[in-house]
Amino acid sequence: MRRVRVGITVGDPAGIGPEIAARAAADVRVREVCEPVLFAPADLTGVRLGQESAGGGRAAYEVITRAVEAARRGDVHAIATAPISKRALALAGLPWKGHTDLLAHLCGVEHVRMLFYADRARPLCVTLATVHVRLAEVPRLLSTTEVCRTIVMTAGWLTGLGVVSPRVALAGLNPHAGEGGLFGDEEEQVLRPAVAAARDQGVEASGPWPGDTVFLRATRGEFDAVVACYHDQGLIPVKLLAFGEAVNVTIGLPIVRTSVDHGTAFDIAGRGTADAGSLVAAVRLAARLAEARR
C-alpha cells in the first residue's frame, strides 16, 4: 500500500500560509508519516504581501477547491489547510465565512462541525456548536436537535480516533449553566434535552456544566471532549492551553480535513519568523486520520 498523501494548501498567499506550508512540507516529522503535496495559486494578480485583498481571497478559494477535488478523486488522502482571511473572501465577493462552510459546500454536505484537538499527554478536544456568528445570535441558533447532533458527531469522531465510549460534556450557555433558570432558560429548554437525546443514542454525554469549570474538569481527565455553545467559549481555553499545537478538524465531511489553530498573521508575513508548529501538527493528524480511514 502506498504512503498516505496529504495535500497542504497555502491559504491566503499574502499571509504567513505559504512560508509555513513550505516549512511543514519539508519537516522531518511530516515526512516520516506521509507524503506531503503542496497546493499553491498559479495567479497572484492583485496580491500584495501582508495585505488583505480580493485577489488573495480569490486565490485562496481556488487553491482550496483544487485540493478538495484532489481529495475526492483520491489523488490525496487528506488535506491540511493554512489560514485564510474571511475578509479577503468577502472582498472577492465570495459568500463563505471561512473554511468550514466552504468545505461543506464543496463536498455537498449539510452538517459539519469545527473541532479542535491537541494531542497531549491528556488530549484536549473541543467542538463548537456555533461558529462565526454574532454573540447575540447564539441563543437563537442553539436547538436541541443541532446541539445533540454536535455531541453525537464529536463522540463518533473520537471513536474513529480509537477512544472507547467517549465521555462528552456540554458547556452551559449562561453563567453557572443558568442556575436553575435564574440566569436564563436555554439550559433547561434546549441544552439538557440535547444531552438526554444524545444519551438515548448511546453517547456517554453529560451536562450542561458551568462553562467556567467544565474545561478545567476535562483537563483533569473527567471528560474526553467538551462541546462549547459559541466560538470564544471553546477557543479561549484551547488557545490558552494548547496554542500552536492544537489542530482544527472539520468533522462531518467525506474527506479528512485539518487546519491550524491561528490566523493569517499578515503583520509578520514574509519575515520568516512564523511558527509552522500548528501546521505540522495538522498534517500529522491528517495523516493519522487518513490511515484510520484506509
β-pair type (225-228, 167-171): parallel
User: What pLDDT shows up at residue 43?
Assistant: 84
* Class for the domain spanning 113-251: alpha beta
Specify the pLDDT at position 243: 86
Percent of the chain past pLDDT 90, that is, above it, reads 85
For the segment(s) 1-110+254-294, the CATH number from 3.40.718.10, 2.60.210.10, 3.40.50.880, 1.25.40.10 is: 3.40.718.10
Domains 1-110+254-294 and 113-251 share a fold: yes
pLDDT tens-digit readout, 70-106: 999 999 999 999 999 999 999 999 999 889 899 999 9
pLDDT of res. 292: 86
Question: Domain limits of the chain?
Answer: 1-110+254-294, 113-251
pLDDT of the chain along its 294 residues, tens only? 678 999 999 999 999 999 999 999 999 999 999 999 999 998 898 899 999 999 999 999 999 999 999 999 999 999 999 999 999 999 999 999 889 899 999 999 999 999 999 988 788 999 999 998 999 999 999 999 999 999 999 999 999 888 999 999 999 999 998 778 878 899 999 999 999 999 999 999 999 999 999 999 999 999 999 999 999 999 999 999 988 788 999 999 999 999 998 899 999 998 999 999 999 999 999 999 999 887
Q: How far apart are the first and last CA of the chain?
A: 10
What's the pTM?
A: 0.90
Which pLDDT does position 1 carry in this prediction? 61
Annotate the chain with three-state secondary structure: CCCCEEEEECCCCCCCHHHHHHHHHHCHHHHCCCEEEEECCCCCCCCCCCCCCHHHHHHHHHHHHHHHHHHHHCCCCEEEECCCCHHHHHHCCCCCCCHHHHHHHHHCCCCCEEEEEECCCCCEEEEECCCCCCHHHHHHHCCHHHHHHHHHHHHHHHHHCCCCCCEEEEECCCHHHHHCCCCCCHHHHHHHHHHHHHHHCCCEEEEEECCCCHHHHHHCCCCCEEEECCHHHHHHHHHHHHCCCCEEEEECCCCCEEECCCCCCHHHCCCCCCCCHHHHHHHHHHHHHHHHHC
